[in-house]
Amino acid sequence: MYPNTSREGIPIYFFIVTCEHGGNAIPAPYHDLFRDQQALLDSHRGYDAGALPMAQKLATAFDGALVTATVSRLLVDLNRSIGHPQLFSAMTRRLSPAMREEILAHYYRPYRERVETLVRQAVSEGKRVIHISSHSFTPELDGKVRRADIGLLYHPARDGEVKLCAHWRASLAALAPALRVRRNYPYAGKGDGLTAYLRLRFSASSYIGIELEVNQHIVQSDAAMWTTLGALLPDSLRAACAVAAA
């Protein structure tokens, strides 16, 4: 495990791992909205396959805080800001404002507030937060094949995020040269999301937010590599943190 302590002159780290799209559950009051939609719920649009177990492995390896959700992103997307056009799906967007607010009150706000509270508490104690938001991506989208195994998403203007992702990628290259690791791919790290929200509230010196993206081809079709990643990602991140803190 990576301790949340360090030698004199080096920041004390607090690790928090989150998973916004960990499952495809639809609470009972909303079952009718998703009648005959199980195939959609089971697809990449319903949840991020593998993201939850990877989040659990990372949190365990770093003795960090873990915040996860298993309600489907098709009910409400916990990785989108209030007002974002994709916050609600086609099934829930047509609900009345009162019903949408009820969903936010029961599922969205408690999750986001829990994460923000943990970050704020750690920062108030003088710790530097490393937040890993665990996700996965479909191998092909709109006919375009994604050419990566791992994506590391960060904001290019946040020096701590840039350096940690560079070290993490280098560590992965040393441990698994054949693994295709790309930065800010298949999405831009500065786009809307939970990490973007937290960057607005915490300085670059106190908060590092990285979205980890794993190709779902590995999760669903390459059992050997998926098992390997369960150890490889924590080990490589540990090595990257050690270099970044040196």
Over residues 100-151, the pLDDT tens digits come to 999 999 999 999 999 999 999 999 999 999 999 999 999 999 999 999 999 9
Q: What per-residue confidence (pLDDT) applies to 244?
A: 79
- Helices 223-245 and 51-61 meet at what angle, rounded to 10? 40
Q: What per-residue confidence (pLDDT) applies to 94?
A: 93
* Dist CA 217 CA 229 (whole Å): 13
Q: What per-residue confidence (pLDDT) applies to 11?
A: 58
* Dist CA 148 CA 117 (whole Å): 34
- Residue 186: pLDDT over 90: yes
- Residue 241: pLDDT over 70: yes
Q: What per-residue confidence (pLDDT) applies to 109?
A: 98
- Residue 211: pLDDT over 70: yes
Residue 195's nearest CA partner among 112, 86, 101, 82 is 112
Say if CB 21 and CB 27 are below 8 A apart.
no
Q: What per-residue confidence (pLDDT) applies to 80?
A: 98
- Residue 18: pLDDT over 90: yes
How much is the average pLDDT of 26-40? 96
Q: What per-residue confidence (pLDDT) applies to 243?
A: 87
- Residue 246: pLDDT over 80: no
Q: What per-residue confidence (pLDDT) applies to 1?
A: 34
Q: Residue 220's Cα: distance from chain center in Å?
A: 18
Indicate the pLDDT class of residue 175, thresholds 50, 70 and 90: very high
**What mean pLDDT value characterizes the chain?**
94
Q: What is the pLDDT of residues 66-110, one digit of tens each?
A: 999 999 999 999 999 999 999 999 999 999 999 999 999 999 999
- Residue 2: pLDDT over 90: no
